[in-house]
Chains A and B, each alone.
Chain A
Amino acid sequence: MSGPDGAQPLLRVRNLRKFFPIVKGVFSRTVGHVRAVDDVGFDVHEGETLGLVGESGCGKTTTSRCILRAMAPTSGEMLYRRRDGSTVDLAPLSRRELRPLRAEIQMIFQDPFGSLNPRMTLFDNVGEPLLVNGMSNRGERMDRVAELLRLVGLRPEFMHRFPHAFSGGQRQRIGIARALSTNPRLVVADEPVSALDVSVQAQVLNLLLELQQRLRLTFLFVAHDLSVVRHISDRVAVMYVGQIVELAPTKSIFERPLHPYTAALLKAVPVADPRVPAGDVLLKGEVPSPASPPAGCYFNPRCPFADERCRREAPVLRELATGHSVRCHHAERLQLAVPQERIDPAGRSG
């Protein structure tokens, strides 16, 4: 399937699973599995931003670490289309086979403090991927690092300083420069603005949007903050207990969610307008453990619409409208509209 403007998928993830064994006792007996990623599938089109949202522990980071092959998935396919048009499944590749792909798929981390080496200058931090990818000439690397720092809005003279001399937002820019050093095509960003203050967050989001257009980057953007994901994404996938429960264009998912969990999640976001009344708390209870998810639909213990079938039979992700998929038996019969004042731009932001 091709994207809305005919763009080809750059990455196709199918039936991705990552189970972590739970081991006990002196003989390290496996007594069960954490189903951190449990049958995840989606496409990422060239040049788009796919947002991945969900609450803590739902499997966002594990999904991105599988795609980056920071870990091997338990099963599934991750079909990546290379620059020359050929397609390669990232899942079974060995370290050596992955090496040429590392330059094309890069990562931006959540923690601008932990992701840089404090004992290395910006030149070494940003230039390291270049060195690894064979740019051994120091002068050449300096030029490239200077160019990258300028690209992310930092002064090239900064390259001889150490990370501790920079603020959170500046460190996140350094992390972005590092990720872009090898001219990647796919950038996986795991909570890249979560640690930043509102005003700094806006600067970094603007930078990401601008770089995406200039360099025709494709983003998989992982975050738990719904307004941030809404702002940056073309399409959004919502995860719950290791599974995608809904996937749709941003506007559809925020205005006409089809999954009861998505609707509850949207209602839980406090709106920055005192004239909008706080929504009723409709989600009770807690997220089940991915080590022992309930039978049937994983959402059924908390779902106000659950019936006998939901407790027995696990729903599959199915396309209900063009490009809008949902994992719920009853989606077409539910009335889940988001209250108008929560989406109507007639208020302050209009």
Chain B
Amino acid sequence: MTGGPLLSVRGLKVVFGLDEGSVRAVDGVSFDVMPGQVVGIVGESGCGKSVTTKAMLQLVDPPGRIAAGEMLFRRAGGDAVDLARLDPRGREIREIRGAEIALIPQEPMASFSPVHTVGEQIVEAIRLHARQWRPEGGAVSRADARAIVVDLFRDVGISMPEQRLDSYSWQLSGGLRQRAMIAMALSCKPRLLIADEPTTAIDVTTQAQVLALLRDLQKRHGTAIVFITHDLGVIAQMASHVVVMYLGRVMEEGPVDAIFHAPRHPYTRALLRSMPGMRGETRVALPTISGTLPHPFNRPAGCPFHPRCEEAIAGRCQARVPVLRPVGGGQSASCFLHHDEAEAT
């Protein structure tokens, strides 16, 4: 299956069974990631971006569970494996985690242990996944692993790498910690890197440095990246393909230029309009999306966006759920303005 996607997510559902009711955090998400491609996932808080990425690595926090769908990942050897079916504590997912798919998680402090230096932690990861560095077999010595980390630190733009190696994560500034985390994620040469809001907590000039770094690494090593953010500017500059999510579903997906210049879904259009830009008129009312994001327990029936949609078709949009279908231009949309296909009830 050469030429096919590296990762193919189909109909993914993740449900959190809580005392008050169940939350459908991810409710039928589908998208593909081609080898070496940067796919941006964008959407507002709570729409299911982080849960989607955690599901890929079987890291969904209990009481959450993958309720349906498949995530076909092409492994280094060429075999496809359905990540959705793997045992969260099993051998296969542990082989894949870190080595083939690496995650830069949203909570930067949580990802390094405070009691070990960042260097020790990355050295451990490299030794654990020795096969990524010694394809012909054999262990990586501590000294060799340390040398690899020094190179990685230099690669991600950490000055004085030998000293920084022996720091604890809490001793590093936000920008340096972010770089150390990227070094950690790259330490096992993943083929797919998942970056969940990697620059949201850092300043704009540091963000520019980190984004340039990720772009450069992607070019040099051909790593595919799933890039999650709620920042449309960051998406426009990073992604070649964009997935727009709302309430656990994909509203629209397509090439980045089409999403920004010819958005087809009313939610994508509204989102782009409501953003104050670096050009255009100032101190005027911004177009807004009416209403508020519904509480996860009160998912609207029909199209999840219908209570806030200005173009909703009476009688149709509140009754049936539109599926994601191609609408031309390489784009797909879940919207009855563009096709008639509804989810089976």
Give A residues with C-beta under 8 Å from B: 49, 55-56, 167-170, 197-203, 205-206, 209-210, 224, 226-228, 230-234, 250-251, 254, 264-276, 278-279, 281, 283-284, 286-287, 342-345, 347-350
Q: Which among A198, A250, A283 is the interface contact of B205 at CB below 8 angstroms?
A: A283
Determine the distance from Cα of A286 to Cα of B272 in the docked complex, in whole angstroms: 32
**In the complex, B94 has a CB within 8 A of chain A:** no
B250-281 residues at the A interface, CB under 8 angstroms: 256-257, 260-261, 270-272, 274-280
B277 x A206 contact (CB < 8 A): no
Q: How far is the CB of B164 from chain A (nearest CB, A)?
A: 13
User: Given known contacts A199-B270, A279-B208, is B277 in contact with A272 (CB within 8 Å)?
Assistant: yes
User: Given known contacts A206-B285, A342-B278, is B236 in contact with A269 (CB within 8 Å)?
Assistant: no
A230 x B293 contact (CB < 8 A): no
**In the complex, B207 has a CB within 8 A of chain A:** yes
Q: How far is the CB of B124 from chain A (nearest CB, A)?
A: 28
A270 x B236 contact (CB < 8 A): yes
A198 x B275 contact (CB < 8 A): yes
Q: Which among B174, B208, B287 is the interface contact of A268 at CB below 8 angstroms?
A: B208
B233-259 residues at the A interface, CB under 8 angstroms: 233-237, 256-257
Q: Which among B274, B278, B292 is the interface contact of A170 at CB below 8 angstroms?
A: B292
A265 x B275 contact (CB < 8 A): no
Determine the distance from Cα of A200 to Cα of B46 in the docked complex, in whole angstroms: 13
B contact residues, range:
35 or more
User: Nearest residue in B to A270 (C-beta to C-beta)?
Assistant: B233
B230 x A347 contact (CB < 8 A): no
**In the complex, B319 has a CB within 8 A of chain A:** no
Residues of A within 8 A of B230 (CB): 197-198
Q: Which among A197, A284, A287 is the interface contact of B44 at CB below 8 angstroms?
A: A197
**In the complex, B231 has a CB within 8 A of chain A:** yes
Determine the distance from Cα of A275 to Cα of B235 in the docked complex, in whole angstroms: 12
B283 x A281 contact (CB < 8 A): no
Determine the distance from Cα of A265 to Cα of B278 in the docked complex, in whole angstroms: 12
User: Nearest residue in A to B281 (C-beta to C-beta)?
Assistant: A345
B208 x A272 contact (CB < 8 A): no
Seed contacts A199-B289, A226-B278, A232-B283; 5 additional CB < 8 Å A-B pairs: A55-B205, A202-B274, A228-B276, A287-B203, A348-B272
A270 x B286 contact (CB < 8 A): no
Q: How far is the CB of B123 from chain A (nearest CB, A)?
A: 25
A264 x B205 contact (CB < 8 A): yes
A167 x B293 contact (CB < 8 A): yes
User: Given known contacts A224-B204, A270-B211, A283-B205, is B279 in contact with A345 (CB within 8 Å)?
Assistant: yes
Q: List 28 A-B contacts (CB under 8 A).
A: A55-B205, A169-B292, A197-B44, A197-B45, A199-B270, A199-B271, A199-B274, A201-B276, A202-B274, A202-B276, A202-B286, A206-B285, A209-B285, A227-B278, A228-B276, A231-B282, A231-B286, A270-B231, A271-B236, A272-B275, A272-B277, A275-B260, A278-B237, A279-B208, A283-B205, A344-B279, A345-B279, A348-B272
Residues of B within 8 A of A198 (CB): 44, 230, 232, 271, 274-275
Residues of A within 8 A of B276 (CB): 201-202, 205, 227-228, 230-232
User: Given known contacts A269-B233, A347-B279, A349-B279, is B287 in contact with A281 (CB within 8 Å)?
Assistant: no
Q: Which among B208, B211, B231, B235 is the interface contact of A283 at CB below 8 angstroms?
A: B208
Determine the distance from Cα of A55 to Cα of B286 in the docked complex, in whole angstroms: 25
Closest 8 CB pairs of A and B: A270-B233, A231-B276, A268-B208, A202-B274, A349-B280, A55-B203, A197-B44, A202-B286
Determine the distance from Cα of A206 to Cα of B282 in the docked complex, in whole angstroms: 11
B257 x A206 contact (CB < 8 A): no
Give B residues with C-beta under 8 Å from A: 44-45, 173-175, 203-209, 211-212, 215, 230-237, 256-257, 260-261, 270-272, 274-280, 282-289, 292-293
Residues of B within 8 A of A278 (CB): 208, 211-212, 215, 237
Residues of B within 8 A of A266 (CB): 278
Q: Which among B175, B204, B292 is the interface contact of A200 at CB below 8 angstroms?
A: B292
User: Given known contacts A226-B278, A271-B278, is B293 in contact with A209 (CB within 8 Å)?
Assistant: no
B207 x A274 contact (CB < 8 A): no
B288 x A250 contact (CB < 8 A): no
User: Nearest residue in B to A167 (C-beta to C-beta)?
Assistant: B292
User: Nearest residue in A to B259 (C-beta to C-beta)?
Assistant: A274
User: Nearest residue in B to A227 (C-beta to C-beta)?
Assistant: B276
Q: How far is the CB of B312 from chain A (nearest CB, A)?
A: 17
Determine the distance from Cα of A240 to Cα of B159 in the docked complex, in whole angstroms: 23
Residues of A within 8 A of B283 (CB): 49, 209, 231-234
Determine the distance from Cα of A161 to Cα of B203 in the docked complex, in whole angstroms: 37
Q: Which among A206, A230, A234, A264 is the interface contact of B278 at CB below 8 angstroms?
A: A230
A271 x B233 contact (CB < 8 A): yes
A55 x B272 contact (CB < 8 A): no
Residues of B within 8 A of A343 (CB): 278-279
Q: How far is the CB of A272 from chain B (nearest CB, A)?
A: 4
Residues of A within 8 A of B209 (CB): 281, 283-284
User: Nearest residue in A to B270 (C-beta to C-beta)?
Assistant: A199
Q: How far is the CB of A288 from chain B (nearest CB, A)?
A: 12
Residues of B within 8 A of A224 (CB): 203-204
Q: Which among B277, B285, B292 is the interface contact of A227 at CB below 8 angstroms?
A: B277
A199 x B233 contact (CB < 8 A): no
Q: Which among A167, A230, A267 is the interface contact of B282 at CB below 8 angstroms?
A: A230
